[in-house]
Amino acid sequence: MTAFIKRIPRNAALLAFLLLLVILSPSIEENLSGFVFELIFDAILLAGVYSVGPSKHRWPFLVLTAVALAVRWGQHLAGVPALDTGALFVTVLWLVYAIALLVAHMFRRRDVSVDTILGSIVVYLLIAVAFTLTFEIIELQNPGSFSGLPDSSATNRSDLSGTMMYFSLVCISTMGYGDIAPLSDIARPVAVLEGVTGQLYLAVMIARLVGLHIAGARDD
């Protein structure tokens, strides 16, 4: 059993939970959506600890993970608006830290493996989730920062989260449907920043993976 677990790519679990968040969460019934969203996010935080693995940043990352879990559950159980924004902010910090650690790990690799490819996908999705939460913070602090949001998003946090996830994926992939648009002075540059970040990340990471693959083929 242990040998089988070791053969599973380190980033597989994190990728699976990220896909659950992106694909399945919007279809969850409204009365269960907040609780299920939280459980999926908790799974992402814990899977992220496993993906990062042992390093000199392990203990700081574990502490930040514990703080994020505590604040998120505190907000979920207490329902205090101030804790809501705080939980989002701490989670964004966690996502940025996780992205930095995973990217650093991939750039230290000298080969292309299944785990490396999964890791590159994971980072792309983590970037999208980080911007999702950033958009939520902007809208909560300055309502009306985005046009095209459903009416229910003003009172239902799960609807706002699902809508911002959709908008974030549209931005990072530069599809630009236009059904949701940033209006405020802070929302517009953040949306542009995500689009630029997504394209630069893809260009750099694909070049990196292709270069490693060619170098590995020459060594063989």
Nearest 5 degrees, angle CA 43-CA 205-CA 191?
70
CB of 48 closer than 8 Å to CB of 79: no
Please state, in angstroms and rounded to a whole number, the distance separating the CA atoms of residues 44 and 15: 9
Q: Which runs of consecutive H residues, i.e. helices, occur in 109-186?
A: 114-141, 157-172
pLDDT exceeds cutoff 60 at 4? no
Four-residue CA torsion sign, 55, 16, 91, 134: positive
Note the pLDDT of residue 74. 86
Nearest to 219 by CA among 111, 117, 115: 111
CB of 164 closer than 8 Å to CB of 137: no
CATH code, domain carrying 112:
1.10.287.70
Total domains in the fold of the chain: 1
Which DSSP helix (H) or strand (E) runs through 151?
none
pLDDT exceeds cutoff 90 at 191? yes
Which pTM does this prediction carry?
0.91
Q: Which runs of consecutive H residues, i.e. helices, occur in the chain?
A: 2-7, 12-19, 30-52, 58-78, 81-108, 114-141, 157-172, 187-219
Q: What is the CA radius of gyration of the chain?
A: 18
Tell me the pLDDT tens digit for each residue of 30-89.
555 667 788 889 999 999 999 988 878 889 999 999 999 999 888 877 766 668 888 999
What's the domain range around 121?
2-219
Tell me the pLDDT tens digit for each residue of 171-185.
999 998 889 999 999
